[in-house]
Amino acid sequence: MAETSNDLRWVLRDATGEDHRRLDALVADLDLGTEAGLVPFLRANALAYGALLPADPALHGHVSRRLALIDTDLAALGAGRPASMDALAAPAQAAALGFRYVIAGSALGGTVLARIHAGGGNARVLAAGRFLGDTELMALWRAVIVELGAYGGPHAPVIEGARQCFRLFERCFEAALCEEATLVR
């Protein structure tokens, strides 16, 4: 069967399902209504976004803005960014679309995480909600859906790009959780 552009979103969802579940499991272990959960969540995202910053010019403005939101939230919690991960090399155009699919797709799960964050009731934690409350992420998601629909190339490099992005976030969450465990001791 020939690959068609209008099914790429669903192909990506199916092909990266296990990658997505592994990352979701790491995030699910964090209580975003508490400082103990929110700080490593923000630090993991800072690591990933910092590594992504130079990788895709189409995401540069978005990634820079998201990093500024993270910095503001971490400052509200009296915390800072962790040591950075190595920057990613710029992916090929098709792989970059896979990265954008993962980044923008986080808008969907982000609404659930924002509700968990808001339900915590801790004023200090609630003051650190800019990253989770970022409404511009949904606009990026809509733009990526259009981009996926217009894409006419092979699916394999887009899928590989999405998998690489999920792996990057997984490594960043593992690193941030490990750093937090070290700080707690």
- Output the pLDDT for position 181: 56
Which pLDDT value is given to residue 185? 32
pLDDT reported for residue 7: 87
pLDDT at position 82 is 82
Q: Phi first, then psi: what are they for 142, rounded to 5°?
A: -60, -40
Q: Which of 18, 160, 29 is nearest to 98 (CA)?
A: 160
Mean pLDDT by 10 residues, the chain (185 residues): 66 97 94 95 94 82 93 95 70 86 91 89 93 92 95 95 95 86 47
Place of tokens 């001791």: 185
Q: How much is the pLDDT for 182?
A: 54
Q: Taking the C-alpha atoms of 86, 21, 79 and 136 in order, what is their torsion angle to the nearest 10 degrees? A: 90
What pTM did the predictor assign?
Answer: 0.89
Q: What is the pLDDT of residue 35?
A: 95
* pLDDT score at 180: 62
Task: Give the Cα separation of 31 and 127 in Å (integer).
Answer: 16
Q: What pLDDT does 106 receive? A: 92
- What's the rounded Cα separation, in Å, for the pair 99 and 7? 17
**How confident is the model at residue 94, as a pLDDT?**
85
